Amino acid sequence: MLTCESNYQVLFLFILFLFCHFSYSPTALSHSTFQSWKTMASDPEGPIHSSLAEEGKSSGEIRSEREPLLNGVHHSESYSVSAAILPFIFPALGGLLFGYDIGATSCAAISIESPTLSGISWYNLSSIEIGLLTSGSLYGALVGSVLAFNVADFLGRRRELVAAALLYFVGVLVTALAPNFPILVLGRLVFGTGIGLAMHAAPMYIAETGPTPIRGLLISLKEFFIVIGILAGYGIGSLLVDTIAGWRYMYGVCSPVAIIMGIGMWWLPASPRWLLLRAIQGKGDSQNLKDIAIQSLCRLRGQAIHDSAPQQVDEILAELSNVGEEKEVSFGEMFQGKCLKALWIGAGLVLFQQITGQPSVLYYAPSILQSAGFSVASDATRVSILLGFFKLIMTGVAVVIVDRLGRRPLLLGGVSGMVISLFLLGSYYIFLNNASAVAVVGLLLYVGCYQISFGPIGWLMIAEIFPLRLRGRGLSIAVLVNFGANALVTFAFSPLKALLGAGILFYIFCAIAVASLAFIYLVIPETKGLTLEEIEAKCL
């Protein structure tokens, strides 16, 4: 009889298989036997275990043919769907915790201000203190992004995620057990630092370890996990909001997830591409690093890879050499040539992701739905859950089709819908006050279009576009821009609303969305179906 844990594993495997099935058409099925590799004595990122590579064939093993790009011929890229689950799910837990913090904090802020239910004597917080409570993790994320710039390439993706899990756990404990407000804010900052590291390293690890045919699906699923986390935060928060000291439980309940994430990342192998980058840059014994990369690739792809791992590693090494990855990037070089183009694409995309008004539109959701006659709009938490489910559905749509349609079509189509929705919202607040249906359509159109475009594809593109030797520092700059723009928009929204009014503000967001549409059309390349090395050679 299957245990509860086994049932969950089977369910997740089934969901991932369905996503894979509808996102691409596998060209062949393989039932090859797995060739064991000898255990290496050392690993820059920890021990290599063989248990994952010994998974059975019941999961389905997939072989995907790729066209040759550089000198030489690509071997077919084989992988097992079941073997791809854990290298995705443990990094994605970092996104789940990020989303949970967003949802739980909205309810915790209500709980902590209640004279009867807060369970503390310092519940009478000022508006500035409430702002620090709600945005403390955001400022911590900025700190984490700065730290990632300096230590990411040294630590590697795996160790950075382990550090993020540790910071998540410490931040949760400090926040949940805080005896006073300064300690509470300190806990929020520590947790936010974990967010900065996790949002930096998770897309890199998933991109560098995921099979090319489903790389877009896996990175987009990370956004799916963020939305699940938001929903979980709203749901658990609404259950605990009437409990004495409920805010402590809201934060503390996610600590086991941080522990699971840390243990899982410690167990997973290092990114093969990170190992090979260190090998070609002379930061260790080249042959030893190459052998460890082969072992890592075998664990990550499962039985289906058979004996082709050495050839695939040789291909990656050859392509890295052809595109000049053997040179360590200097700070000045990051703003020249292909590095500058990658920064322009990555940072520009996440900047527009934030300044097209997503937090502001959601801020108006309760009043819009209430004006349309939805009684549930009187309860902000329930409205947030309703929109959260809609966001989850639309993110699922993006996950299913991103590797079939490509990145550019989803961005162009989704942002075009955002332009229309922002125009409708601006018109509602200026000209159409009695046409509440217009506001509801605008709201739902905006949320849906954002979740099939900027939401998942912003994180996907910044994980793909940076050259390997620039990826750690480049992605840290992009994440810093993302959280910095988020903080700026959040801070500026209230004074701009008071100065200009909601209608004019939505028209401004509409104009910015038009500019972002032009940016996507003129600058953003299509990366569907390309390996990370091919993206560097073709798109930069």
> What residue type is assigned to position 444 of the chain?
L
Min mean pLDDT across 36-50, 199-213, 338-352 is at 36-50
Average pLDDT over residues 76-81: 64
Cβ neighbors of 30 (< 8 A, separation 6 or more) are 61, 62, 63, 78, 304, 306
Cβ(435)–Cβ(428) below 8 Å: yes
**Is there a contact between 530 and 355 (Cβ–Cβ < 8 Å)?**
no
What's the pLDDT score for residue 273?
87
More confident residue, 350 or 383: 350
CA 380 vs CA 116, 357, 384, 428: distances in Å? 20, 19, 6, 21
Residue type, 395: T
Residue 378 has pLDDT above 50, yes or no: no
Quick one: pLDDT band at residue 24, thresholds 50, 70, 90?
very low
| Cβ 161 vs Cβ 138: under 8 Å | no
In this predicted structure, what is the pLDDT of residue 8?
Answer: 36
The confidence score (pLDDT) of residue 63 equals: 41
Closest CA to 343 of 334, 352, 332, 354: 334
Our CA dihedral for 8, 12, 18, 20, rounded to 10 degrees, sits at: -160
Q: What is the pLDDT of residue 366?
A: 64
Q: State the average pLDDT over residues 96-120.
A: 87
CB 317 within 8 A of CB 289: no
328 or 189, which is more confident: 189
Q: Average pLDDT of 28-54?
A: 38
Q: Which of 210-224, 394-408, 515-529 has the lowest mean pLDDT?
A: 210-224
Looking at residue 3, what is its pLDDT? 41
DSSP β-bridge partners for residue 62: 29, 79
Q: What is the CA radius of gyration of the chain?
A: 23
| Of 236, 209, 239, the residue nearest 222 (C-alpha) | 209
Which residues are paired to 64 by β-bridges? 77
Using the structure block, give the residue that is written with the tokens 């072992």. 295
pLDDT higher than 90, residue 265 = yes
170-204 in b/e burial notation, b at 16+ Cβ within 10 A? bbbbbbbebeebeebbbbbbbbbbbbbbbbbbbbb
What is the per-residue pLDDT across 197-207, written as a single tens digit (0 to 9) for each? 999 899 889 98
Residue with tokens 């500019």: 515
Tens digit of each residue's pLDDT (9 = 90 or more) over 239-258:
888 889 889 999 999 999 99
Average pLDDT over residues 25-35: 34
Euclidean distance between CA atoms 426 and 446, whole angstroms: 12
Report CA 264 to chain centroid distance, whole Å: 17
Name the residue with higher pLDDT: 92 or 34: 92
Residue 21: which pLDDT band, with cuts at 50, 70 and 90?
A: very low
Is 539:466 a contact under the CB 8 Å cutoff? no
More confident residue, 306 or 228: 228
- C-alpha dist (Å) from residue 132 to 241, 525, 539: 20, 39, 41
The mean of the pLDDT values for the chain is 78
Distance CA 93, CA 148 (A): 18
Tokens of 441: 């359509």
**Which pLDDT value is given to residue 194?**
95
First and final CA of the chain: distance in angstroms? 53
For residue 374, pLDDT over 70 is answered with: no
Query: Which pTM value belongs to this model?
Result: 0.76
**Where in 231-282 does DSSP place strands (E)?**
none
pLDDT of 31 over the 50 cut: no
pLDDT-derived band of residue 96, with 50, 70 and 90 as boundaries? very high
The encoded tokens of residue 131 equal 């702002």
pLDDT digits (tens, 9 = 90+) for 426-485: 998 888 877 778 888 888 899 999 999 998 888 888 888 888 777 888 888 888 888 888
